[in-house]
Amino acid sequence: MYGEKRVISIQAPKGSSPNAMKLKTHLAINETLCGRLVSLDEGKAVVKFTAAPEMVADVHGLVHGGFIFGAADYAAMAAVNDPNVVLGAAEVKFLKPSRSGDATILTATVTEVNGKQRRVEVEGLDEAGTRVFTGLFTCFVLAKHVLNK
């Protein structure tokens, strides 16, 4: 249910920490719209996004880039993994178009921590391993939730 808090335990990928990380942010995310978290480790998250027919923007089957951006944003937020993380800015490049049914694996890595600011690099690869998206996300960890006054 929307607004319901849930804790998701993701199994750590092979070669990473044996302790499963628990997702602490974006717990009510719609996985159809933003992808599914497939791995989570300290400072790193991987989201698998599969473009749905409802995301198509034209008669050629082009998927609107905003959906891919949303999945990349979700990956960045999960990499930071704080309940009060928000996006401040993003610089992104769409390197290859996506069609309905295409899957993109988005890997987000926290590369810099400076006080409340986090810089997160996100790379998206298609199923063939071709880079289709890159982004640098500037996130902020606030003292309280952005909607709490």
pLDDT tens over the chain, length 149 residues: 334 444 444 444 444 444 568 999 999 999 999 999 999 999 999 999 999 999 999 999 999 999 999 999 999 999 999 999 999 999 999 999 999 999 999 999 999 999 999 999 999 999 999 999 999 999 999 999 999 97
Give the pTM. 0.86
Question: Could you tell me if residue 1 is inside a domain?
Answer: no
Task: Return d(Cα 32, Cα 60) in angstroms, integer.
Answer: 21
137 part of a folded domain: yes
Within a domain: residue 126?
yes
Tally of domains within the chain: 1
> Is residue 117 domain-resident?
yes
For 105-125, the pLDDT digits (tens) are: 999 999 999 999 999 999 999
Give the CATH number of the domain where residue 99 resides.
3.10.129.10
Q: What sign has the CA pseudo-torsion 146, 24, 136, 43?
A: positive
146 within a domain of the structure (yes/no): no
Structure tokens at 75: 């990956």
For 99, the domain range is 8-141
148 belongs to a structural domain: no
**Cα→Cα distances 37→4, 7, 49, 81, 117, Å:** 18, 12, 9, 12, 23
